[in-house]
């Protein structure tokens, strides 16, 4: 018998598993992937995310990452503003390496991790006056459904969570409708110790230097069209006036990955017996590079509520988690929505470009806030 089942071994699930196992809980983590595995991401940890790792004793997971001293933001009209993190820094690290390190930490803490297991949904206990979750349904080796019972379940199985979707707790957002197409490149010219965000009319492009001479490049667009992903990504990079020369001789490594539509709406943090963590609790395209801090801190909050629920009962744990998530993330969520709205409207983008030209210190402050220096 397990105390807590966790669907998903990404950053949120792995952090939750580590903290629960350290506290003596019997934890089973299930993930359909086998680690290390590739994951579309900006591959950056901002100072706030690193602060969470350090506080939890998990900073070794970011070891070997490339130091990031801040962010550079450019506009289509030639605006270029650099915001540095000062005495703090971020890290750039390929997600397959980072995620595998967190999974290893969870196993070392005592959590049982089962890879290559598909979670199909949740076990619902409808015998009580209020329906609650009493375990998970997985696909067995023979293809038949298999039920695993536990008093607490944490769904950390990503933006299209099979658990949250099947229960009607999350849904695709009607807007914004955006897709991300990302890949790795060698021989990109002009990379520095800065992450980059190139904001253009209707889309934006993220660029991050990585260890080993790699560069992560990702375009987020409302229209992926019918072109092959590789063609779309290369076209976005090589048609951009500020990037074309830097990517002219670059070689793409492997095949690009497409993800979308990105946004997922979720107004709750679970239900009796179930807690949501990471992207399963809602997802937007985190153009500020703070997605991993949301995941790490969200996993921590879910673990704390799960421990409290094991001691005092799970009836209201999801409500306490919702309040905690809102206290922690509400201001940043509003900040991110404002930035995404700016990208969507050319007038706002022009005004922002003008503001950055006449008052660059304001944009520098925004970059520092986006880097979660307030949380670090």
Interstrand relation of 90-92 and 44-45 (parallel, antiparallel or unpaired): antiparallel
Q: Using CA atoms, how far apart are residues 72 and 133, in angstroms rounded to an integer?
A: 45
Query: What pLDDT was estimated at residue 283?
Result: 78
The neighbouring-strand residues paired with 148 are 136
Q: Using CA atoms, how far apart are residues 123 and 126, in angstroms rounded to an integer?
A: 10
Q: Which residue has the tokens 């070997």?
A: 64
Q: Which of 247, 324, 341 is nearest to 287 (CA)?
A: 341
Q: Using CA atoms, how far apart are residues 214 and 81, in angstroms rounded to an integer?
A: 24
* Helix ranges, the chain (H): 11-22, 47-55, 95-109, 162-166, 229-238, 244-247, 291-312, 317-344, 346-358, 360-370
Other CB atoms within 10 Å distance of the CB of residue 144: 7
Query: What pLDDT was estimated at residue 104?
Result: 98
Order the strands of the 70-75 sheet from edge to edge: 80-84, 70-75, 194-200, 203-209, 214-221, 179-186, 251-259
Interstrand relation of 27-31 and 170-172 (parallel, antiparallel or unpaired): unpaired
* All residues at 6 or more sequence positions from 171 whose CB lies less than 8 Å from its CB, including other chains: 165, 264, 265, 266
Residue ranges and CATH numbers for the domains of the chain are: 4-39+94-171+263-340 (3.50.50.60), 44-91+179-259+345-376 (3.30.9.100)
Terminal Cα-to-Cα distance of the chain (whole angstroms) = 38
- 59-73: burial string, b at 16+ Cβ within 10 Å, e else: eebbeebbebbbbbb
Q: Which of 308, 307, 298, 297 is nearest to 276 (CA)?
A: 298
Kindly give the confidence (pLDDT) of every residue in the chain, 376 residues in length, as a single tens digit, with 9 standing for 90 and above: 899 999 999 999 999 999 999 999 999 999 999 999 999 888 999 999 999 999 999 999 999 999 999 988 888 777 788 888 988 999 999 999 999 999 999 999 999 999 999 999 999 987 777 889 999 999 988 889 999 999 999 999 998 899 999 999 998 777 778 889 999 999 999 999 999 999 888 788 999 999 999 999 999 988 777 678 899 999 999 999 999 999 999 999 999 999 888 878 889 999 999 999 999 998 776 656 678 999 999 999 999 999 999 999 888 999 999 999 999 988 887 777 776 666 655 566 566 666 666 667 777 777 777 777 777 6
Q: Which of 52, 56, 74, 16 is nearest to 372 (CA)?
A: 52
* All residues at 6 or more sequence positions from 371 whose CB lies less than 8 Å from its CB, including other chains: 46, 47, 48, 70, 71, 83, 85, 88, 90, 288, 289, 290
Query: What pLDDT was estimated at residue 229?
Result: 86
Take residue 55 and report the two structure tokens written for it.
């506080």
pTM over 0.85: yes
SS3 call for 140: coil
Q: Using CA atoms, how far apart are residues 231 and 65, in angstroms rounded to an integer?
A: 29
Per-residue pLDDT of 281-300, as tens digits, reads 987 766 566 789 999 999 99
CA atoms in the 13 A half-sphere facing the CB of 291: 21
């Amino acid at each position: 018998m397990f105390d807590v089942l966790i669907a998903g071994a990404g950053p949120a699930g792995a952090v939750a598993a580590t903290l629960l196992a350290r506290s003596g809980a019997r934890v089973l983590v299930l993930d359909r992937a086998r680690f290390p595995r590739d994951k579309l991401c900006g591959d950056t940890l901002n100072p706030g995310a690193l602060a969470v790792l350090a506080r939890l004793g998990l900073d070794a997971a970011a070891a070997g990452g490339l130091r990031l001293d801040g962010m550079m933001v450019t506009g289509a009209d030639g605006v270029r503003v650099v915001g540095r993190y000062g005495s703090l820094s971020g890290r750039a690290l390929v997600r397959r390496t980072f995620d595998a390190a967190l999974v290893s930490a969870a196993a070392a803490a005592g959590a049982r991790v089962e890879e290559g297991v598909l979670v199909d949904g949740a076990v619902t206990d409808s015998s009580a006056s209020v329906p609650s979750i009493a375990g998970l349904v997985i696909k067995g080796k023979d293809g038949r459904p298999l039920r695993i019972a536990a008093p607490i379940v944490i769904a950390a199985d990503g933006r299209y969570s099979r658990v949250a979707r099947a229960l009607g707790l999350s849904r695709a957002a009607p807007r914004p409708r955006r897709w991300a197409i990302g890949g790795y490149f060698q021989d990109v010219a002009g990379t520095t110790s800065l992450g980059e965000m190139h904001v253009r009319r209707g889309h934006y492009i993220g660029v991050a230097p990585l260890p080993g001479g790699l560069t992560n490049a990702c375009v987020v667009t409302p229209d992926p069209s019918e072109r092959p992903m590789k063609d779309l990504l290369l076209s976005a990079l090589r048609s951009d006036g500020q990037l074309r020369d830097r990517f002219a001789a670059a070689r793409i490594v492997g095949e690009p990955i497409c993800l979308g539509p990105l946004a997922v709406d979720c107004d709750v943090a679970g239900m009796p017996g179930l807690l949501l963590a990471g992207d399963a609790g809602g997802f937007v395209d985190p153009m500020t590079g703070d997605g991993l801090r949301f995941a790490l801190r969200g996993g921590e909050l879910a673990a704390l509520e799960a421990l409290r629920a094991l001691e005092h009962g799970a009836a209201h744990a999801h409500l306490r988690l919702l309040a905690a998530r809102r206290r922690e993330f509400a201001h940043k969520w509003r900040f991110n929505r404002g930035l995404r709205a700016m990208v969507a409207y050319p007038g706002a983008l022009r005004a922002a470009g003008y503001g950055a030209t006449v008052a660059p210190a304001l944009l520098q402050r925004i970059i520092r806030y986006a880097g979660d220096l307030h949380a670090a």
